[in-house]
Structures are given as structure tokens and as C-alpha cells.
A and B are shown apart, each in its own frame.
Chain A
Amino acid sequence: MAHEEVKGCVILKDLHYSVQDNTWVKADGDVVTIGMTDIAQSLAGPILHAKTKSVGTARKKGRPIATVESGKWVGPVKSPVTGEIIEVNEQLAGDAQLINRSPYRDGWVVKMKASNLEAELAEMTTGEAAVEAYRQKIEQDGIACTHIDDSDTYD
């Protein structure tokens, strides 16, 4: 998969990103898979708990779809789209560090049926623009990504 690495942080070019909230979206029709970015997992540190909202929960863009806890940090995963949660990653309940090891693949958080996808995707960034946006953010905030053992490689 085409990707770029900035200060150790992996950015996949074919995903859409809400850069501010450090989430990614992969759309398949009006169903979207949502997850945390490599930067988000790195900033959080080894994750202990990732509690998703239940299937059937309706969420507006910007509202929490999951709560993520690491040793000393807690924060929401904010929904980058408006819609209804139709599937949650059940594996996270027993192994939240899947998000650390595989933020873009096995560590996805929820799938949602989006109701305003076209407009909301247009507000996100993708491809080279996403790489550039993250490059700026990484430099501005002095971020360098770290990965725990057995993390995905993108070669």
C-alpha cells in the first residue's frame, strides 16, 4: 500500500484523514471503516483499553465513538463522519494494543453507515495533501512516532 513515513509516523495515501482529530476513514460505498492514525497510537502510548460505543449508536461528526486509555492518558476517538455504528472491532476488547501494532488494518475501531459522506469526505485530506498536512503537524508539535513490538510494517 502506498505510504509515506515522516519521523517514523506512517501515513497511508489511500485513506482519508481528519488531521485535527488524528483519525482515518476508508470508504466502501456509504460504509466507512474508522481508526486511529499511527501518530495517534504513538502519542497515546501502549493502549490498555479501547471501549467502543455499541452497534446501533447514532453519532454526529465530532462526537466520541470510542474511549481509549493508556497508562496515564485517556481520550476520545472522535467520529470523522455522521452516521450509525454498524460494527465494532470486537478484538479490541481483549487486545487493545492491536491499535498500537496495526493502526490502519487489524486495529480499526468501528464501521459506520454514513449519512452525509460525500460532504464530510470532502472536508478531510487524502493522498499527498494528507502527507503534507501531517508533515507540518509533526514538525510543529515535535512528534516522533514509536512502535511497540510486532507492529505492522508497510514495506
Chain B
Amino acid sequence: MSGALASELLKLRTTRTFLGTVLAALGLTALLAGAAAGVAPYESGDIPGADVLDAAGLTQPFALVLGILAVSTEFRHGTITPTILAVPDRARLMAAKLGAHGVAGLILGGVSYGFTALLVLLVLPLRDIAPDVSLGDAIEMAVGGIVCVALLAAIGVGVGTLVRNQVGAVIGGLSYMFLIEPLLTALPTVGRYIEDYGIGGGINALSETTFAGGAELSQPAGAALLLGYTALFAVAGIATLRARDISA
């Protein structure tokens, strides 16, 4: 493992941000998944197992924010100076941050999907509700969902490098995800393409969410699309970081 990657992983472990993000994501997931598993009414045609599992998708915005904080926090506290002195190759630094936050995203997603899977296995049987989802489909959903959380963390790293202001980056990132892109899908003609091929389209396809009424793309295509967005933000982030004067 490269020193830069090990350093970034240690940074994540040595402040409360990562632990706080995991706990907050888990708390919200527990609330919604708990409701879906414990009290939600189901009719025939519903897939209760998939609905409960899907609640782990709530982790996605937390992963995005965690990624955004990766670089913006370094600028905010000035730690970017010793960081770049230790790793002067800024592309290598970005690669390490992308890798570390990808790993953090996998952990975050893994914990959330693991938790909702437990609810499917333990709580639904108590209510005599059949999950109605095959093990293969559930694994496909969970793996796609976990990868999706990891990619959103990586996209966040890029966003947090492009937008210098930390608060602006967090608000901007979340607004785009939940407000701007959904609004854009309502546009005539182009709206459809934004819905299918925007970041939200990639997320829906990759995580096989049951909420959006099915995605246009297949799961692998969704993965490729999100990977493409990740690469785009990463390249733009590296270019920005390279050009920037580190003066604070």
C-alpha cells in the first residue's frame, strides 16, 4: 500500500468526522429501514425484502458529503500545506484521497446494507411477511448499492476539490443531487436524457432502487456511467489542485 493512501486512511480514522458520518447514516437508515421492516403495510405485488434493503441507499448523500470534506477540510484548517509538502505530486495525492474515500464508502455502504439485510432476515419473519426477493437479487442489490456509495464518496472528493468553499461545496453537492438534477429531468426533450444518464440515473441503475420505478440502464451500465462521472470529477479536481496556489 502506498504511503500516501495509508496516510489518507489514517486521517479518516483520526478525526470524528468519519465515525460521525457512519453513525448519522446508520441512524437515518435504521429509522427508515426499521419503519419499512417493522410497521409498513405491504400489498401483493410489493417486494418487502427489496424495500427494506433499499433504505440503505440513504447512505449515499452521507458518502458524498464525506468525500467533499476530504479536500475542503484540508483547505479550511490549512493542513493542505503539510499534506502537499509530504506528497508534492498533486495527482498522486488526489489518487490517494479517491482511494481512501472509496474504501471509506465501501465500509459505510457495507455497514448500512449489512444492517438492512439483518432487518430483512430478522424482523420481516416476525410479522410473517415473506421478503419476496431471491438471495441472488438481494446480493446484486446490496453489492451495487455498496459500490454506488463508494463511487459517490469518490465523486465528493472531486467536487470538494473543485469548489473551494467547504459549506458551498456541501450545500451545492446535496442541492444538485436532490433538487437541481430532479428539476432538470422535468425539462422537455433533454429531461428524459438527464433522468437516464445523469448522476441520479446512474445511482438508480447501479443500486437497483425500487423507489424510482425502475431505471432505464442495466446495473453494469449504471456502474460504468457513475465510474465515468467519478473519473470526470477526479480529472477536473486534479487539474484544479495542480493549478492552485496553496497560500493558506
A binds B: no
Q: Give B contacts to A, CB under 8 Å.
A: none
